[in-house]
Amino acid sequence: MFAIIKTGGKQIKVQKDDEIFIELLNEDENTKVTFNEVLMIDDKIGAPFIKGATVTGTIIKNGKDKKIRVIRYHSKKNIRKVYGHRQPYTKIKIDAISTGASATKKVTTQVPEASE
């Protein structure tokens, strides 16, 4: 069973026991978190979210990614700037995916035949 959740402005596909990296959450380690914005579970699609569906997980750690260096350079102008950035993240282990009662199934549309 898999689910697609929305968090931090991104959509992430998760399964039970997955470890995912998301935007930083202001929570401590070993804290349970619940994601209510579930877009899809297996073949059930929400409009836009599945009502009552939740994905729960445990925060493993908060940290920062490797530093990236951005260099700004203008030739013949003696302009050289170096910027650095470390993106903060939260690492989460997915514990459970629960479905909602009123999920809609994916429906394929059929074209009606023309009768003469």
Is 77 inside a domain boundary? yes
Is 105 inside a domain boundary? no
pLDDT (average), residues 89-107:
78
Is 37 inside a domain boundary? yes
Percent of the chain with pLDDT over 70: 85
102 or 12: which leads in pLDDT = 12
Is 113 inside a domain boundary? no
> For 14-53, how does the pLDDT look when each residue is reduced to its tens digit (9 = 90+)?
999 999 999 999 999 999 999 999 999 998 999 999 999 9
71 or 107: which leads in pLDDT = 71
pLDDT (average), residues 87-92:
97
Is 114 inside a domain boundary? no
Is 111 inside a domain boundary? no
Q: What pLDDT does 111 receive?
A: 58
Q: Is the overall model pTM greater than 0.85, yes or no?
A: no
Percent of the chain with pLDDT over 90: 79
Number of structural domains (the chain) is: 1
Q: Which regions of 1-116 does DSSP assign to beta strands (E)?
A: 2-7, 10-15, 19-23, 32-35, 38-41, 44-45, 54-64, 68-74, 79-85, 88-98, 104-105
Tell me how far CA of residue 28 lies from CA of 6, 56, 61, 112, 116, in angstroms: 21, 15, 8, 56, 68
Domain with 94, as residue range(s), is 2-100
pLDDT of residue 103 exceeding 50, the answer is no
3 state DSSP class of 64:
strand
Is 116 inside a domain boundary? no
